[in-house]
Structure 1
Amino acid sequence: MYTLFTDTDCDITPEIAKRYGYKLISMPYTIHGKEVHPYVDFDVFDYKTFYDELRKGVIPTTSALSPVEYINYFEPEFAKGNDILYVHFSAAMSATFNSLRLAMEELSEKYPDRKLTLIDTKGISLGSYALCMDIGELYINGASIEEIQKFANERIDKTAFYFYADDLKFFGKSGRVSGLAALFGNIIGVKPIIFIDHDGKMKAKDKGRGRIQTLRKLLQYVIELQEDIKKHRVVIAHTDALDIAEEFGDMMKKQFGEDLKIEYEVVNPTAGSHCGPNAMGVTFNAKHR
């Protein structure tokens, strides 16, 4: 037997986790000097209040879990005799995976017969969400770890993730986007278009001036890259910008047909700390990232 894990950086809520049998690892952020663990320190993400704080100029920070925290998540399952499959956000985005490695070194000595299998979605937020949802479907239908690994290996590089941020300062503070300074410098009023590459790293792709131009550029990337878009999950996520998300969804339906199925969801607070409010992104099946 094995137990399925994911983390809150993949936009999986307790409700979704329960539906698919996921154990949920909470990735913390700090705001107003207080460390907060999503769905541990609160039950429902009050995203409007959170993103309103960011609009007022508050810039949260994020931090890695400690090895002890990972041990506390995993050891109960190993003690039951269960192996673990952990579907996680991009290892290229956080030092938390160093803590995970240290935790597993300790646990492997104590539980030599138990196995932890990792699936790196090479994404975060909605890009990881789409993969987690598909993997969850496989899990509840009895798929083995090997079958899920095979599926993930085929899907990850074909799951494209493009988004724009409304304000450069949040990514500027986090330093997590390669090429951002070179592409934009200190230009005021532009909206960076960012994608996640095949290594799971965020990179600046383009820029737009104003909402309409930026949405049109995003749509063009979808048109150029998509492959059998209607046969796979399409997700649009936002940081308290549902009106913009739905506007982009309408643009996609006009392009690909009204029967295009789109899921809308909210970016988790830990990832949202880096992109800021009024951001919007789309994930879809593509020829490549």
Structure 2
Amino acid sequence: MKDFVITADSNCDLLPEYIKEKAIGIIPHYYDINGVTYGDELNLTPKEFYDKMRAGVMPTTMASNPAVIRETFQSYLDKGLDVLHISFSSALSGGHSNVAAGARELCEENQEAKIVVLDSLNVSLGEGLVVMKAVQLKEAGMGIDEVAAWIEENKLKFCVQFTVDDLFHLQRGGRVSKMTAIVGSMINVKPILVVNKDGALVPGGTVRGRKKSLSTIVNRMETQMGNHKNGNNPICIVHGDAAEDAAYIAELIKERLHINNIMINTISPSIGAHSGPGAIGICYLGEER
């Protein structure tokens, strides 16, 4: 059985040490601040990025670069490896179509090349959890086609509950109206967002107050996990430079569900540009979305 490598994009928000340990290939997504493009060799720390947003800077984002995609895939093909790529949701970025096009071109040029591109229909560590499962299945001895088939069959079981601290970032991205953002901010409304079956981030309700929004996404996660609460699957918490709130959620999960397999990471800038400072998400294996 031919060996293969697992690749993803930088929006998967996996911890750098995990990426290194498991040799995950990462294709960057990009963001622009005041005419400077970041995301490859040049990058900001999460603190620097979110502090700029707090100061009023509005970054723009760009999907993966076709030339970088080809170069990345070709480097693995040159080593005799097949490639399994898991992408950020096609409903939220052009990155998936860019990768699919690059893979198709390379396979047309080289009939022995095999690049399988899967749409995670997920975001941040929701996508990252899919990558981690693929790694687990590969290490258990599955081939590329078996892993791909499992992911396609089960990817809608990877769920996300999300809340943001500032409605104006959602308004800028067209998720809510300007009037909703103004009124909602005045009365301290916090939206709950979910990733639906199409991979889009959609409204899931509203609550009053930050603490209430955090406890609400934990409550909803507990309900949606169903029988998966009894497993040892990781739960991932992502945040837009809100480490204290992420730690608070982690403690809630430990107390309520007695689960200690928790991963915490910051939201990558190309997602954080839309969700803003203070955004918090929980990603986990649950029942169907």
- In the superposition, the TM-score normalised over structure 2's length comes to 0.89
Q: Which residue is 1:271 aligned to?
A: 271
Give the distance between the partners of 2:267 and 2:202, measured in 1 at CA: 18
Moved more, 62-71 or 241-250: 62-71
| Deviation of 1:183 (Å) | 11
Code of the residue aligned with 2:239 in structure 1: it is: H
Code of the residue aligned with 1:268 in structure 2: it is: S
Code of the residue aligned with 1:133 in structure 2: it is: M
Moved more, 99-108 or 220-229: 99-108
SS at match of 2:91: helix
| Deviation of 1:185 (Å) | 5.6
| Deviation of 1:220 (Å) | 2.5
Give the distance between the partners of 2:262 and 2:17, measured in 1 at CA: 19
Q: Which residue is 1:124 aligned to?
A: 123
SS at match of 2:58: coil
Q: Which residue is 1:249 aligned to?
A: 250
Contact map agreement 1:20 1:137 (CA 8 A) in 2: no
Q: Which residue is 1:97 aligned to?
A: 96
Q: Residues 50-69 of structure 1: matches in 2 within 5 Å?
A: 50-69=49-68
Q: Which residue is 1:226 aligned to?
A: 225
| Deviation of 1:87 (Å) | 1.3
RMSD value over aligned CA atoms? 2.2
Contact map agreement 2:27 2:64 (CA 8 A) in 1: no
Give the distance between the partners of 1:118 and 1:53, measured in 2 at CA: 34
Q: Deviations over 1:104-149 (max 9, x none)?
A: 3432331122121112221111211222222223334443112312
Corresponding position: 1:156 with 2:158: no
Give the distance between the partners of 1:129 and 1:100, measured in 2 at CA: 17
Q: Deviations over 1:4-32 (max 9, x none)?
A: 21111001344322211211111111112
Contact map agreement 2:190 2:208 (CA 8 A) in 1: yes
Code of the residue aligned with 1:63 in structure 2: it is: M
Give the distance between the partners of 1:261 and 1:81, measured in 2 at CA: 35
Q: Which residue is 1:34 aligned to?
A: 36
Give the distance between the partners of 2:71 and 2:267, measured in 1 at CA: 26
Give the distance between the partners of 1:12 and 1:185, measured in 2 at CA: 31
Give the distance between the partners of 2:127 and 2:179, measured in 1 at CA: 26
Number of residue-to-residue matches in the alignment: 282
Q: Which residue is 1:16 aligned to?
A: 18
Contact map agreement 2:191 2:203 (CA 8 A) in 1: yes
Code of the residue aligned with 2:277 in structure 1: it is: P
Give the distance between the partners of 2:97 and 2:262, measured in 1 at CA: 35
Give the distance between the partners of 1:23 and 1:152, measured in 2 at CA: 18
Contact map agreement 2:246 2:280 (CA 8 A) in 1: yes
Give the distance between the partners of 2:106 and 2:89, measured in 1 at CA: 22
Pick closer, same or farther for the CA change 1:92–1:278 going to 2, 3 Å: same
User: What fraction of aligned residue pairs are identical, expressed as a percent?
Assistant: 27
Corresponding position: 1:239 with 2:240: yes
Code of the residue aligned with 1:92 in structure 2: it is: A
- In the superposition, the TM-score normalised over structure 1's length comes to 0.89
Give the distance between the partners of 2:164 and 2:181, measured in 1 at CA: 15
SS at match of 1:237: strand
Code of the residue aligned with 2:53 in structure 1: it is: L
Pick closer, same or farther for the CA change 1:183–1:130 going to 2, 3 Å: farther
Contact map agreement 1:29 1:269 (CA 8 A) in 2: yes
Give the distance between the partners of 1:91 and 1:124, measured in 2 at CA: 10
SS at match of 1:91: coil
SS at match of 1:264: strand
Code of the residue aligned with 1:280 in structure 2: it is: I
Code of the residue aligned with 1:25 in structure 2: it is: I
Q: Residues 114-193 of structure 1: matches in 2 within 5 Å?
A: 114-175=113-174, 177=175, 180-181=176-177, 184=180, 186-187=182-183, 188=185, 189-193=188-192
Give the distance between the partners of 1:93 and 1:280, measured in 2 at CA: 18
Q: Deviations over 1:36-92 (max 9, x none)?
A: 114x324xx621121111111111111123322321221222233322110121111
Give the distance between the partners of 1:66 and 1:282, measured in 2 at CA: 29
Give the distance between the partners of 1:280 and 1:89, measured in 2 at CA: 18
| Deviation of 1:244 (Å) | 0.7
Give the distance between the partners of 2:50 and 2:266, measured in 1 at CA: 11
